[in-house]
């Protein structure tokens, strides 16, 4: 137990002031907006809220579209995240650190810029436009474009969760499995996946939240065709532009509810991650002390 | 314990898994890692995705802008309207990043140093802007600050227009960037050695002197990193701003909104050149953030 700083007693009023200020900042910037989404959405009663969501075919379609685009983007992310983390955490090769910094690019590039780049490739005036027209494939203003844009903006989320965890766990167990004759798939399913499952789930939850809520990149590639290419966040914007604030707030409240569920899931998963990290540390220090004893024994 | 948040996971010490002294040991172990399977398959999947989704689209964007030639590029990128948009984007983002850094330092300090009822709740609430879709944030902020809104009814009579104004842009940018500023600084404050501060106090330094001379130099790299991350996030933000700014050309139009406006007019040259300039700023910030983070990681060891 570290000694209490001598300032504690004297700084009580200061501490209270700082806590009040911090709560004021978070309250005004975060809590008030969050509460007001639900207040505005339900201000005309639960029935009106439900009707705004369920009785508008375009809104229904937007919910359906979000529910089909996000899982595909998250699935691509999961496969990519596991492969990329395995590559970077388990092997050393030239260009490795450059590759790692490429993983971060989607975070720093404006989603609008990403959407525009996709339009320049797949749009009618784009690089592959004539080819796609000849094949009669539609990517921009259509479902595949939405998936591509969503995948781009969520790309770092899974891999960024997995790399530190895989590095901390180290390759010992996997190498033991290989030396005992396990195949690559067996190593993955029996050793790697159980070890990284909470980190993977963490990444998937975050990627899903971002995928459901993505606006900028999707806005550029969707073409806003109501009932066809409007996802939930785009529907929020369209209803807002049409001065249908209550309906807009109703869709927004669904997205905000989803964000709250995400945060609760994130909180639970992080506690699991911390527990496993502590277990790993304990196992390591036990192994280290045993090693130490063996060495001492051999010397004696 | 710090939480690995979605975007700050790369920051040293913020991961639930501490590396540090383990690193040397695991590096030694890794030398034998060549026997592990899956190099070819994972390299193939990774390079396919990185090349097709990141490298190829951005290369196409840059080549498309370069094909205009230097004069054509300037003509498309440097119009009066685009200059105004850069000015609004840059100034609002700088203002928001500075505000986030200051407020973030306060909140991070309180979360890291002061034990009070509701601390865990406050800590959890900080992550809300990372999970809440930006469109929802923009919609709600504009509803709060209009004349009839919860906050606008007090502020508008005072002459403070939070909605459909420059101030509105800054407000939502602070909202989206605040978690970045907090989550980078918080673990660094938690890891500070309190003995140094105590020594300074015992030697007669005032609380203010201790903060300015002892604490601030130690956390400054983290604050600067948080500022750069906030700035990067603010510069690229679109979803929330489009709701609240009113998008008036020359007044409240930010660069990403201009890109979309030009694209909808099929003015590809202008949209592309503005996008390339925005991209260049993002990449420059990414490089700055990466080198700052490496320095933070070295300091943490």
For the stretch B267-291, pLDDT in tens is: 999 999 999 999 999 889 888 888 8
What are the structure tokens assigned to A106, written together?
A: 């989607």
Q: Which of A120, A208, A219 to mutate to test the interface with B (most CBs of B within 10 A)?
A: A120
Whole-Å CA distances, B258 to A149, A236, B152, B206, B211: 19, 21, 27, 50, 43
Across the interface, do A212 and B125 touch by the CB < 8 Å criterion?
no
The DSSP H or E segment spanning B228 is helix B216-236
Distance from CA of B283 to the nearest CA of A (A): 7
A97–chain B Cβ distance below 8 A for any pair: no
Q: How far apart are CA B240 and CA B135, in angstroms?
A: 5
For the stretch B234-272, pLDDT in tens is: 999 999 999 998 888 999 999 999 999 999 998 999 999
B21-35, B61-75, B228-242: least confident range = B21-35
For the stretch B83-112, pLDDT in tens is: 999 999 999 999 999 999 999 999 999 999
Across the interface, do B197 and A174 touch by the CB < 8 Å criterion?
no
Residue A233: which of B58, B116, B135 has the nearest Cβ?
B135
Q: Where are the alpha helices (DSSP H) in B50-203?
A: 56-66, 69-77, 80-113, 119-125, 128-131, 134-145, 152-155, 166-190, 194-202
Closest CA in chain A for residue B23: A168
Q: Which of residues 71-90 of B touch A (CB under 8 A)?
A: none
Q: How far apart are CA A43 and CA A257, in angstroms?
A: 16
CA angle (A135 as vertex; A154, B44 as ends), nearest 5: 40
**pLDDT of amino acid B69:** 92
Across the interface, do A22 and B107 touch by the CB < 8 Å criterion?
yes
Q: Which of A18, A22, A181, A187 to mutate to test the interface with B (most CBs of B within 10 A)?
A: A22
**Cα torsion through B228, B231, B235, B238, rounded to 10:** 120
Chain A partners of B141 at a C-beta cutoff of 8 Å?
A: 33
Chain B partners of A117 at a C-beta cutoff of 8 Å?
A: 57-58, 60-61, 275
**pLDDT of amino acid A259:** 95
Which residues in chain B are classed under CATH 1.10.3720.10? 77-300
- The burial of B136, by beta-carbon neighbours within 10 Å (0-12 exposed, 13-18 middle, 19 or more buried), is given as buried
DSSP-assigned states of every residue in chain A:
-PPPPTTTTTTHHHHHHHHHHHHHHHIIIIIHHHHHHHHHHTTT-HHHHHHHHHS-HHHHHHHHHHHHHHHHHHHHHHHHHHHHHHHHHH---TTHHHHHHHHTHHHHS-HHHHHHHHHHHHSTTSTTHHHHHHHT---TTSHHHHHHHHHHHHHHHHHHHHHHHHHHH-SHHHHHHHHTT--HHHHIIIIIHHHHHHHHHHHHHHHHHHHHH--HHHHHHH---TTTT--HHHHHHHHHHTT-HHHHHHHHHHHHHHHHHHHHHHHHHHHHHHHHHHHHHHHHHHHHHHHHHHHHHHH-
A179-188, A244-253, B34-43, B164-173: least confident range = B34-43
Across the interface, do A84 and B263 touch by the CB < 8 Å criterion?
no
Residue A112: which of B4, B57, B259 has the nearest Cβ?
B259
Q: Please say whether the beta carbons of B46 and A156 come within 8 A.
A: no
B267–chain A Cβ distance below 8 A for any pair: no
The stretch B122-134 carries a mean pLDDT of: 94
Q: Please say whether the beta carbons of A250 and A52 come within 8 A.
A: yes
Closest CA in chain A for residue B27: A170
Q: Please say whether the beta carbons of A170 and A131 come within 8 A.
A: no
Q: How far apart are CA B97 and CA B181, in angstroms?
A: 8
Tell me which residue has tokens 């050793």.
A191
A193–chain B Cβ distance below 8 A for any pair: no
- The burial of B266, by beta-carbon neighbours within 10 Å (0-12 exposed, 13-18 middle, 19 or more buried), is given as exposed
Across the interface, do B30 and A236 touch by the CB < 8 Å criterion?
no
- Of the two residues B35 and B186, the one the predictor is more confident about is B186
B133–chain A Cβ distance below 8 A for any pair: yes
For the stretch B5-25, pLDDT in tens is: 333 333 333 333 444 444 444
Closest CA in chain A for residue B105: A22
Across the interface, do B201 and A7 touch by the CB < 8 Å criterion?
yes
Q: How far apart are CA A218 and CA A253, in angstroms?
A: 20
B56–chain A Cβ distance below 8 A for any pair: yes
pTM here? 0.88
Tell me which residue has tokens 């689209």.
B57
Question: In the predicted model, is pLDDT for residue B212 greater than 70?
Answer: yes
Distance from CA of A131 to the nearest CA of B (A): 16
B120 Cβ neighbours under 8 A, 6+ residues apart? none
A38–chain B Cβ distance below 8 A for any pair: no
Distance from CA of B139 to the nearest CA of A (A): 8
Q: Which of B245, B135, B140, B128 is nearest to B183 (CA)?
A: B128
B60–chain A Cβ distance below 8 A for any pair: yes
Q: Which of residues 41-70 of A touch B (CB under 8 A)?
A: none
Question: In the predicted model, is pLDDT for residue B53 greater than 50?
Answer: yes
Residue B110: which of A22, A103, A234 has the nearest Cβ?
A22
Chain B partners of A87 at a C-beta cutoff of 8 Å?
A: 39, 42-43, 46
Question: What is the phi/psi pair of residue B190, to 5°?
Answer: -60, -35
Coil/strand/helix, residue B155: helix
Distance from CA of B17 to the nearest CA of A (A): 6
To the question of domain A49-282 being in CATH 1.20.1300.10, the answer is no
Distance from CA of A128 to the nearest CA of B (A): 11
**Which CATH code fits B77-300?**
1.10.3720.10
Across the interface, do B26 and A79 touch by the CB < 8 Å criterion?
no
Across the interface, do A167 and B235 touch by the CB < 8 Å criterion?
no
A11–chain B Cβ distance below 8 A for any pair: yes
What are the structure tokens assigned to A218, written together?
A: 């999707």
Q: How far apart are CA B70 and CA A13, in angstroms?
A: 61
Per-residue pLDDT of chain A (300 residues; tens, 9 = 90+): 344 444 444 478 889 999 999 999 999 999 999 999 999 999 989 999 999 999 999 999 999 999 999 999 999 999 999 999 999 999 999 999 899 989 989 988 999 999 999 999 998 888 888 888 888 888 888 899 999 999 999 999 999 999 999 999 889 999 999 989 888 899 999 999 999 999 999 999 999 999 999 999 999 999 888 888 999 999 999 999 998 989 999 999 999 999 999 999 999 999 998 898 888 888 888 888 877 766 666 555
CA B36 to chain centroid, in Å, comes to 37
Closest CA in chain B for residue A272: B16
A263–chain B Cβ distance below 8 A for any pair: yes
Q: Which of residues 202-241 of B touch A (CB under 8 A)?
A: 202, 207, 232, 235-239
Whole-Å CA distances, A230 to A157, A217, A219, A223, B238: 24, 13, 9, 8, 17
Q: Please say whether the beta carbons of B81 and B250 come within 8 A.
A: yes
Radius of gyration of chain A (CA): 25
Closest CA in chain B for residue A241: B243
Q: How far apart are CA B56 and CA B178, in angstroms?
A: 32
Q: Is B174 left (phi over 0), alpha (psi -120 to 50) or beta?
A: alpha
Coil/strand/helix, residue B118: coil
What are the structure tokens assigned to A163, written together?
A: 């790399």
Percent of chain B clearing pLDDT 90 (strictly above): 67
A236–chain B Cβ distance below 8 A for any pair: yes
Q: How far apart are CA B53 and CA B35, in angstroms?
A: 30
ipTM of predicted complex? 0.88
Distance from CA of B214 to the nearest CA of A (A): 15
Q: How far apart are the first and last CA of chain A?
A: 37
Please give the interface size between A and B, counted as residue pairs whose CB atoms are below 8 Å apart: 329
Q: What is the mean pLDDT of chain B?
A: 87
């Amino acid at each position: 137990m570290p000694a209490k700083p001598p300032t504690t007693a004297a700084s009580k009023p200061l501490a209270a002031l700082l806590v009040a200020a911090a709560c004021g900042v978070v309250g005004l910037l975060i809590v008030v907006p969050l509460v007001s989404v639900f207040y505005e959405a339900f201000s005309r009663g639960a029935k009106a809220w439900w009707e705004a969501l369920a009785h508008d075919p375009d809104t229904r379609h937007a919910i359906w579209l979000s529910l089909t685009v996000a899982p595909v983007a998250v699935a691509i992310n999961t496969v990519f995240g596991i492969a990329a983390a395995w590559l970077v955490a388990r092997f050393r090769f030239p260009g490795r650190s450059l590759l790692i910094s490429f993983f971060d690019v989607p975070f720093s590039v404006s989603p609008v810029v990403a959407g525009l780049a996709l339009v320049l490739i797949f749009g009618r005036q784009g690089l592959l436009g004539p080819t796609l027209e000849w094949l009669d494939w539609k990517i921009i203003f259509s479902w595949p474009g939405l998936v591509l844009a969503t995948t781009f903006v969520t790309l770092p989320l899974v891999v960024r969760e997995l790399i530190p965890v895989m590095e901390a766990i180290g390759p010992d167990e996997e190498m033991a499995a290989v030396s005992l004759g396990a195949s690559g798939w067996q190593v993955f399913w029996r050793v790697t996946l159980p070890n990284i499952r909470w980190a993977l789930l963490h990444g998937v939850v975050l990627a899903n939240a971002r995928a459901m809520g993505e606006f900028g990149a999707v806005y550029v590639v969707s073409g806003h065709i109501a009932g066809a290419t409007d996802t939930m966040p785009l529907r929020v914007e369209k209803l807002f532009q049409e001065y249908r604030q209550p309906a807009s707030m109703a869709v927004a409240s669904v997205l905000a509810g989803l964000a709250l569920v995400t945060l609760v899931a994130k909180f639970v998963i992080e506690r699991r991650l911390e527990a496993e990290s502590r277990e790993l540390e304990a196992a390591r220090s036990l192994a280290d002390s045993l090693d130490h004893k063996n060495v001492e024994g051999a010397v004696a | 314990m710090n939480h690995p948040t979605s975007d700050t996971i790369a920051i040293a010490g913020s991961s639930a898994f501490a590396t540090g002294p383990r690193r040397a040991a695991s590096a030694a172990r890794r030398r034998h890692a060549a026997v592990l399977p899956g190099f070819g398959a994972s390299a193939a999947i990774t390079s396919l995705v990185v090349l097709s989704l990141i490298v190829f689209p951005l290369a196409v964007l840059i080549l498309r802008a370069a094909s205009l030639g230097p004069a054509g590029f300037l003509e498309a990128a440097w119009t009066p309207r685009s200059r105004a948009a850069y000015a609004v984007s840059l100034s609002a983002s700088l203002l928001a990043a500075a505000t986030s850094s200051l407020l973030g330092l306060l909140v991070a300090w309180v979360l890291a140093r002061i034990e009070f009822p509701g601390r865990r709740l406050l800590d959890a609430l900080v992550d809300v802007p990372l999970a809440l879709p930006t469109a929802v944030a923009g919609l709600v902020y504009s509803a709060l600050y209009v004349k009839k809104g919860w906050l606008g009814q007090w502020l508008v009579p005072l002459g403070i227009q939070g909605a459909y104004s420059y101030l509105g842009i800054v407000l939502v940018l602070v909202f989206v960037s605040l978690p970045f500023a907090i989550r980078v600084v918080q673990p660094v404050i938690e890891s500070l050695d309190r003995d140094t501060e105590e020594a300074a106090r015992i030697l007669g330094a005032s609380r203010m002197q201790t903060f300015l001379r002892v604490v601030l130099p130690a956390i400054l790299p983290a604050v600067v990193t948080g500022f750069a991350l906030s700035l990067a996030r603010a510069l690229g933000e679109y979803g929330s701003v489009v709701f609240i700014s009113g998008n008036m050309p020359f007044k409240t139009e930010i660069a990403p909104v201009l890109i979309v406006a030009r694209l909808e007019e099929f003015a590809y040259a202008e949209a592309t050149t503005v996008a390339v300039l925005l991209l260049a700023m993002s990449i420059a910030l990414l490089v700055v953030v990466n080198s700052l983070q490496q320095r933070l990681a070295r300091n943490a060891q």
